[in-house]
Amino acid sequence: MHGSTDKLRVTLLQVSAGQDMQTNLVRLKHLLDGIGATDLIALPEVFSVRGSDQDYRRSAQPVAGQTTAFLASIAHRHNAWVLAGSIIEDAGHALYNTSVLLNRRGDVVASYRKIHLFEASLENGQIIRESETYNAGTEPVMTELEGWRCGMAICYDLRFPELFRHYSNEGAHLFFVPSNFTQRTGKDHWTVLLRARAIENQCFVVAPDQCGTNPHTHVESHGHSMIVGPWGEVLADIEEGERAVTVTLDHYDLNQTRRRIPALTHRKM
């Protein structure tokens, strides 16, 4: 793979994180045992700790913190890039929900602060409001992974097509959408939105999601970690449980899709 960028092996990781970071990271390491050769390991949103606002505040750290150091060791061990779906970033003046990309050497190549903060009123009266914990990011982040141009997003961002259109206009080949999508919204919206973002921009979408239940809020996550192709085809779907699945993305499929329907060249706005 190193001499060519035509194909990219992506390992999608679905986890059910709890409130103890060390336990979560050890379990994650075991999940990756035996995955074989890969180019990218993609982790969900808040993969290292899932619980209360207090848990998130307590686990907050700079981008160059202990969680990133742990992921650098994963990158070395598997000779793979690592998408840290999101960590709770302590920027000194504020907390951000931040996605981080590390290269094979374990160097931080890009970080993206979640722009759209989730808010929902659940049927049981429970209100989820991320803005009570995090500040919103302000900048889209495009990065490059061995010749593949990647647009970074997190979970709720998926509902805002203008972010993905921005990345598409910048020449994106794939989108990262690490998530902790709730079961209530996910069962109706997750697959539809992922496929829509793929189809309308003729891009691959890599979307690792959490499964199981938040041990503090008891809100259930949807699972169904997915990779979607540029035609809108579902290339991987981890329906339930903690698992790792590897899929090979091929630039040929991207080019063929864009040749068959040259929609990207027909844009008027």
Instruction: Tell me the catalytic residues.
Output: 45, 114, 155
* Angle formed at CA 137 by CA 131 and CA 139, multiple of 5 degrees: 155
DSSP label of 60:
-
Q: How far apart are CA 251 and CA 158, in angstroms?
A: 23
| Inter-axis angle of helices 161-169 and 183-201, nearest 10 | 30
Give the type of residue at 51.
Answer: G
Sign, Cα dihedral of 203, 252, 248, 236: positive
Q: How many helices (H) and strands (E) does the chain have?
A: 6, 14
Question: Comparing C-alpha atoms, which of 134, 139, 173 is closest to residue 153?
Answer: 139
Q: How far apart are CA 183 and CA 204, in angstroms?
A: 23
Q: CA-CA distances (angstroms) from residue 22 to 67, 94, 103, 231, 243?
A: 10, 24, 23, 39, 19
Q: How far apart are CA 259 and CA 46, in angstroms?
A: 37
249: part of which helix (H) or strand (E)?
strand 243-250
Q: How far apart are CA 15 and CA 238, in angstroms?
A: 10
